[in-house]
Structure 1
Amino acid sequence: MLFALSLIPGIIICLFNFMGIDFSYTIIEPLNKVKALYDINYRRYLGAVNTTQDTINMGRVIFNKLYAMYDEPGAVGTVCGLILFIEKLDLKKNVENKIIFIGGLISFSFAFYILLIINLIVCKKYKILAFFILLLTILNFSSLNKDYGVFDKILFNRFTVSDNKLNGDNRTSPELDYAYKQFLKGDVKTILMGKGDGYITNNIDGGVSSTYKIFIYERGLIFFILYLILVVVLYYTNTNSIKNYYILLAFILSIYQRPNILILAYIVLIVGGTLYNSNSENINAI
């Protein structure tokens, strides 16, 4: 409920910006050191932020990804995608799910769209899948895309492949990729135990990456495996139905580009999500 409410000011601003109407804002500096390094500042509105980095100006029309009150659209999209997994993409259930669905769509988060596609298939939401395909088709052939390449830049290009790599898989740096390959060729003790928290930020790429490789490189393969075991244990401890396996799948997939998996929010989503889903099934069975 609170998360859905937190998206509303940002959604309103995005819609008004798209109509060529902007609101007053102040410029604030980012807390993230990497964003500060690249002089990426935030525009702070009432209840929401965004950055000039993800803004496309087309005459009077201003096109923004949804940040809401969070630091980046990817974070918004990932959480939206995970919550909709927990809710089994039931958009008829309540207004909150509709808001989260809209928020995820206009975050244009690669993670959200991947999670959404999987969710649509797993939950057999073929009508929504058809609507989703139609929406993407309309966006692709829209004048905004033909004249300005808006949706190619923020979405479609991320699903293309170049240099044998999906363009949307862009959460790592060349420096980290090279260091990770060398790391896997190193001594067994280092691979198992890692090089210590903060090593990549301080010694390799300044913290510009966000990938599971960071977790393994810094904390070691043993810790990474133990974490996955913990996630699985939490999942099976808090659900009575193997049908909810897709929630576990979604969280494991999210680790690929979101290595900050020790934060409380992820644990709450895993435990709370599976409990909520399990209790919902029990109620429906009565």
Structure 2
Amino acid sequence: MAYRWKNDLTHADVTPKGLFLNRRQIIAGLGAGAILGATGTRAMAQEALKPNSYEEITTYNNYYEFGTGKDDPARYADALTTAPWSVTIDGLVDNPGEFSMEDILARMTIEERIYRFRCVEAWSMVVPWNGFELSDLLNMAGVQSSAKYVAFETALRPDEMPGVAYRVLDWPYVEGLRLDEAMHPLTIMATGIYDKPIPNQNGAPLRLVVPWKYGFKSIKSIVRITLTDTQPGTSWNKAGPNEYGFYSNVNPTVDHPRWSQATERRVGGGLFAGREPTLMFNGYEEVANLYTGMDLAENF
């Protein structure tokens, strides 16, 4: 893509650092199996919205390497050593190798992106990410013309990640995007939240953010990126192929087998907040052309 994405959401849509909502109330009102996802649009950003706090963003997480409870990552992820850190970029690239975080950050342009994240079980929050476009990193490695997909892999450190002792998923955690999805300017590699380094429980030091997809596509603590000509396996698709497809775009017309995805509830609205219609692609209409001619119910 030749253009760079322009931010629609502003700090009016997120909570000041010193302000946060009653977390017990939020947790009581949400399903225990919620998986973070993304939703955002200019119209929604302009509506009245109780925004989200740094506290909420960093204490209610899915990161099964540290446990399946929503507060497990915040309790245990500080054991993860995030410096030094390196990322291997290999496969169909001109410049394969192991790149240190220092080297990566020295070459990338860090900017703020305020995205609305949405979970599979129909709740959303607004997160001010700091990071860089994934396309810049891939271009640094030199994508070869035969590449069609990008595969990602999370760190696997049993001594630091107590959750991997349980076969909840097939470790290490892996994800994948089609190359055009990866190169879209909305797709970023996040390195921070609220202008602070990204906390371990949110995927330090480097995580993927794809705002028009459900949050489980946004793989955390990345150690390997591989360019390939075949569609890679993804952790949730392998664990439940009838529930979690490779694409995992937010599509309100396709229900999850165990719940409807047609409406959502905003975190911070209280236990009795009304629901609102879920927007296709979370409202990011600029990605619709990536799927022209595809059956999005079959390719879910």
TM-score category (smaller protein): under 0.3
More helix by share: 1
Query: If the length of structure 1 is used for normalisation, what is the TM-score?
Result: 0.25
Query: If the length of structure 2 is used for normalisation, what is the TM-score?
Result: 0.25
Tell me which of the two structures has the higher relative contact order, counting C-alpha pairs closer than 8 angstroms and 6 or more residues apart.
2
Which structure is larger by alpha-carbon Rg, 1 or 2?
Answer: 1
More strand by share: 2
